[in-house]
Structure 1
Amino acid sequence: MDFDTNDNKNIIGVIVILCLIFIVIGLTFLLTSKKVKQSESNPTAIKKIDTEVAKPLTEQELNKLNDGFLRALYSYSTTETDLITYLSNLNNNQKLYLGDIMKVKNNNTSLSIADIKNNLINILGNDISIKGEDYYIGEAEQPFIKYNDTNGEFKINEEYENGSDQLTDLSTKKLYNYKVKSIDKTENGGIITVYGMYKNHDGFQEYIENDKGIKRYIGVDDRLEEFGYPDTEEMYLTNLYQNDTQQFLEFQYTYTLNNNSYILTDFNIVS
């Protein structure tokens, strides 16, 4: 049978196309196989990704805890409820204190309710149902910090006249973190164990104490003779830490990894 020139051209064209298809398939297979082998022979690449996702827990998390948290956590340690439930049941004044409302006073600036909520979420992963309301000191009739419903911001009340130093109705006793004992990894987070004391105020001066008889006034290094102390506060604590760590209490802060951030989920006093 005779084929004309056009038929020959068509056959050649089909053959060329088929060859190109087989070449592309072959190259794709080779490249895929090479990548799989590289991944299998280089497991550190996978480990690196895991490490970036699960960042290490550090004592920097403790630096987020303001005066309000250190008071609230002490009170929480005496209850049998979970942390979020306990904090959610605080009054709104106390919640504002935990959310760093006093930055308005200390920094002489305004602060929004969104800022307050973010401060709480960064620590707890929860805003504990806080509301935008005026902030009162003790039983004062006038708010110390006023909330503006229109723009959602807090500002110092320029007409406040009480002049009280009482900042909150949270516990007078709070946690005093001295030195980290250990940071232990858990399945979904970690636990920071700290050597510490309680810090209290007798209406005259702040002091640290344990539950074993220690009571040491602090912040009086310029009046050591007056208080009958032979050493400074730092010397006293350093000596105690080096020679008798059993005099310290141990605080355990439990953190859970959530969206590449650690949130505080529990607290215990273990000794």
Structure 2
Amino acid sequence: MEACRPAGGHFGACAGNRVTGSSVRVIRIGQPQVRNAVDSETAARLHDEFTAFDADPTAKVAVLTGDTAAFCSGANLKDLPDLRDDGPLGPTRRQLSKPVVAAIDGWCVAGGMELAAWCDLRVAGDTARFGFFDRRHGVPLVDGGTYRLPKLVGLGRALDLILTGREMSVAEAHTIGFVDRVVPAGTALDAAVELAEQIAAHPWRCVLSDRAAVYAGLELGTRQALAAEDELGQSTIFSVDFISQLARTTMRGALRRVKSAIG
């Protein structure tokens, strides 16, 4: 899908690019010379890009990517981002209101794994490699990895990866649930954009309310989670958007029955 690949091969420190004719925004980490390690400038731009995406009513789903050699290798230790910000790697201490899909090819290590874990879904090329390699250098996880990884893969598997800092293949990452879809190497971006467009094509208020209910439920007990789901669901069901969609669906069903009846 050439529309999501900008002229010149990368965006620079970081920038967003709207896929032509789509409500999907591609945000690329443009530091290929350092395997897309995130310095202070790149972190600030990632933060700004995702803030703009979340506020843009015409953008529904974002795709975060690096390049075919590396998704992200974590923080650039020569120019560390500010630990006091919304996230050392940019947006990782925020919860956006809309979905983000990670398109992973090549290396996804150290803080790069934390950045991928921050996304809602992860699509990876079949040669991608993972691991908390910062363990070898005494660098702690500060971009939400200790919180999000156990929720994605379970406590024991998360501790195995975090405490050993070992390398993990894409096959293992898929098996344990860190990676959601595996595609041929070099095609993760196109596959992620296709997935994002599938999500964006659904009735949008319902997508957002169900997503919000899922995340709310992770922080609540069973009763509270069910109450949150009910509240969010009812706000959708009694909305103008839902009633209009239901009317269209009912009309299509009625037309199909009429056509079937008259042969």
> TM-score, normalized by length of structure 2?
0.23
Q: Which has the higher strand share?
A: 1
Which is higher, the Rg of structure 1 or of structure 2?
1
